[in-house]
């Protein structure tokens, strides 16, 4: 293991210290829980969006705490769910009377803890709704989509829900928009190497030198097939075809596209992939109108990438266009 760390068991505390040192004008930790990172000065009367998840995925999850995005994040250990207590305290730190939307990825530990957190908020008289993102088409069949994992497509859900909350829409509407955004996103990943968790000190799995795995999850969950490394165009064909086969994208549809790099894939390679993806989409009569290429949800130093495609309508496209900011991602009115 070669990493710039101190004590592997202090990994989360050490990087949180660095983030607060860099962005202390924007962020603080809850006085009640040091794993609840919150925006300072929450807006009175605005729905509070609270996310959470395991570390090792920056800028997901806490990197999307910002203006026009989420308001707080419960931080877990590497690849592990945050505690219910952190989720509750994150919400209480930023809730200002309009209720809370818990927005997170579809993983068992997160589901269980957010459920308990929502119940505890309700006991305290705080209304809490939940949307869990399940955009990974490789993780379950279309018929069992409720069991699919959440991967990088959640970025578009943060963007739409955050814009709706900033427009001061009520909790019911912010929740509806978040669910609608999620329902229109499909994603799939490919990986060529594993990553090493600091507390473990060795790769979490092994892929052969000349192999790649199609459909691998961001924690190293098995994909749908393993084979020889393909060309960038072939990988783009595989990912795009499987995503488009999973949902109806009528000719003329406008789409948002994300090519997400998992940690040690060069940005140039992401653009090579996107160039072919764009060709395929346009050949099918689809128009990419909002495009992101870069590291938006990583898996430590895993070599690989994911593709997310979001089908847009007038409402979703308008919400995506709103400006938003965090230290990790910036959306001006002309982004993408």
Cite the active site residues: 57, 219
Please give the helix or strand (H or E) that residue 90 lies within, else none: helix 84-94
Q: Virtual CA dihedral for 296, 300, 303, 308, nearest 10 degrees?
A: -30
CA angle 332, 183, 280 (to 5 degrees): 70
CB count within 10 Å of CB 40 equals 11
CA angle 142, 52, 270 (to 5 degrees): 60
CB 20 within 8 A of CB 29: yes
**DSSP-assigned states of every residue in 165-204:** HHTT--HHHHHHHHHHHHHTEEEEEEESS--B-TTT-SBS
End-to-end CA distance of the chain: 37
**Does a cis peptide bond (omega within 30 degrees of 0) precede residue 200?**
no
Residues in the chain: 336
C-alpha–C-alpha distance, residues 118 and 192, integer Å: 38
C-alpha–C-alpha distance, residues 85 and 3, integer Å: 30
């Amino acid at each position: 293991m070669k990493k710039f760390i101190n004590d592997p068991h202090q990994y989360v505390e050490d990087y949180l210290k660095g983030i607060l040192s860099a962005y202390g004008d924007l962020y603080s930790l809850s006085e009640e829980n040091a794993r609840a990172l919150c925006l300072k000065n929450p807006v009175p009367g605005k729905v509070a969006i609270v996310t959470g998840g395991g570390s090792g995925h920056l800028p997901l999850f806490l990197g999307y705490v910002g203006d026009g995005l989420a308001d707080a994040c419960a931080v877990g250990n590497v690849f592990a769910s945050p505690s219910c207590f952190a989720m509750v305290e994150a919400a209480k730190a930023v809730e200002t009377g309009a209720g809370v939307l818990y927005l997170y990825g579809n993983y068992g530990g997160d589901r269980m803890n957010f459920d308990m957190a929502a119940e505890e908020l309700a006991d305290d008289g705080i209304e809490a709704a939940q949307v869990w993102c399940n955009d990974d088409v490789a993780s379950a069949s279309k018929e069992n989509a409720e069991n699919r994992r959440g991967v990088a497509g959640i970025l578009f859900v943060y963007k739409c829900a955050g814009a709706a909350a900033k427009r001061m829409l009520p909790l019911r509407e912010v929740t509806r928009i978040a669910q609608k955004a999620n329902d229109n996103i499909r994603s799939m990943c490919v990986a060529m190497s594993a990553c090493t968790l600091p507390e473990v000190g060795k790769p979490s799995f092994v892929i052969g030198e000349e192999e790649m795995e199609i459909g691998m999850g961001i924690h190293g969950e098995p994909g749908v097939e393993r084979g020889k490394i393909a060309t960038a165009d072939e990988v783009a064909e595989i990912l795009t075809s499987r995503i488009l086969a999973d949902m109806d994208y009528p000719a003329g549809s406008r789409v948002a596209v994300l090519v997400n790099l998992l940690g040690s894939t060069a940005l140039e390679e992401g653009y090579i992939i996107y160039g072919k993806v764009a060709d395929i989409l346009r050949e099918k009569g689809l128009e990419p109108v909002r495009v992101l290429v870069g590291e938006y949800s990583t898996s430590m130093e895993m070599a690989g990438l994911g593709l997310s495609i979001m089908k847009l309508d007038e409402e979703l496209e308008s919400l995506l266009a709103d400006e938003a900011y965090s230290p990790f991602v910036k959306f001006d009115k002309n982004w993408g």
